[in-house]
């Protein structure tokens, strides 16, 4: 039986990972008493006694925690931004390519993608791979997320009894175009420039809808149907799948897949103006679900084991 330790188990991502693991019979989850949860020596001992360590920490704390791991047999799955473009770290999005999945299966260091980056890459990576769009493309992306993506502080703000009225409406952020997911969006897709990115947080707990609009002239050949064909072949499930016209009477809810660990991609619009859309849960395939899927691959288990699909 493999031993697993979650460093940062009290946070939003850590709690969801623990929830996905608690019914498993093939692993043993190591926990620390409350008084030792932030003790570096206790954490270090737990990490080095484990086969797999999940890091559910802020970036600086995650970078420090990696230095605690001295056991060469211990694999680290980091859910922070700290290592997503770092050399020697596998990128934890196995559906991007067979090579990406194989790298995860054999890695000792895995970086779980950012939630917005997951939505963007699920749409753009296959089109660059198929040479429908070029690496020089100047792309735009907007992404609507539930407030749980902001962690404990934002959750408290949105759920406060006497919260500011501004929280009732969607709020765009990342206005300076320096969002921390931009680096991986560019690097993993192989783009020459970062997209113009418009993230929006809204008054619902979890769920995400990411959209990349394309004009026909962005494409090197074909149109909307060629894009659909690429997605159909690329994403046949079980975790990521192409969905044909999943809208709700012309509307598309960003929290339709809340609580689940799958991701759906779809194509809307027409041959002149095309909308590429991915929907998933920012805490599912956008965080904890993706981390558990990576662990499954490391263990040689079915990738969907323990996931809610």
| Residues annotated catalytic, as ranges | 115
Cβ-Cβ contacts under 8 Å for 218 (sequence gap 6 or more): 133, 137, 139
d(CA 292, CA 3): 14
Contact 139, 196 (CB under 8 A): yes
Report angle CA 256, 254, 294 to the nearest 5 degrees.
75
d(CA 78, CA 271): 40
| Residue with token string 């993608």 | 113
d(CA 265, CA 263): 7
CB atoms within 10 A of CB 260: 19
d(CA 160, CA 181): 28
Contact 143, 195 (CB under 8 A): no
d(CA 12, CA 206): 11
């Amino acid at each position: 039986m493999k031993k697993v330790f979650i460093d940062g188990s009290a946070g939003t991502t850590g709690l969801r990972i623990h929830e996905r693991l608690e019914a498993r019979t093939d692993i043993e989850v190591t926990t620390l008493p409350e008084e030792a949860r932030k003790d570096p020596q206790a954490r270090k001992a737990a990490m080095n006694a484990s086969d797999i360590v999940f890091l559910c920490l802020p970036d600086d704390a995650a970078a420090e925690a990696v230095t605690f791991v001295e056991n060469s047999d211990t694999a680290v799955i980091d859910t922070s931004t700290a290592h997503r473009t770092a050399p020697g770290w596998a990128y934890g999005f196995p559906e991007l390519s067979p090579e990406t999945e194989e790298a995860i299966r054999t890695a000792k260091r895995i970086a779980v993608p950012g939630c917005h980056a997951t939505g963007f890459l699920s749409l753009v990576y296959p089109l660059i791979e198929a040479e429908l769009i070029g690496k020089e493309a100047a792309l735009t992306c907007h992404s609507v997320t539930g407030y749980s993506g902001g962690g404990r502080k934002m959750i408290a703000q949105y759920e406060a009894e006497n919260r500011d009225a501004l929280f009732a409406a969607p709020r765009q952020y990342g206005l300076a175009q320096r969002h921390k997911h931009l680096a991986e969006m560019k690097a993993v897709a192989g783009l020459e420039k970062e997209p113009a990115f418009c993230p929006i947080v809204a008054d619902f707990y979890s769920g995400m809808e990411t959209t990349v609009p394309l004009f026909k002239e962005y494409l090197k050949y074909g149109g909307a149907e060629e894009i659909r064909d690429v997605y159909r072949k690329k994403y046949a499930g079980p975790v990521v799948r192409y969905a044909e016209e999943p809208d709700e009477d012309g509307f598309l809810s960003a929290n339709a897949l809340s609580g689940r660990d799958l991701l759906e991609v779809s194509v809307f619009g027409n041959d002149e103006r095309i909308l590429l859309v991915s929907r998933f849960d920012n805490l599912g395939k956008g965080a904890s679900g993706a981390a558990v899927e990576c662990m499954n691959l490391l263990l040689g288990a079915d990738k969907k084991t323990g996931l809610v699909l």
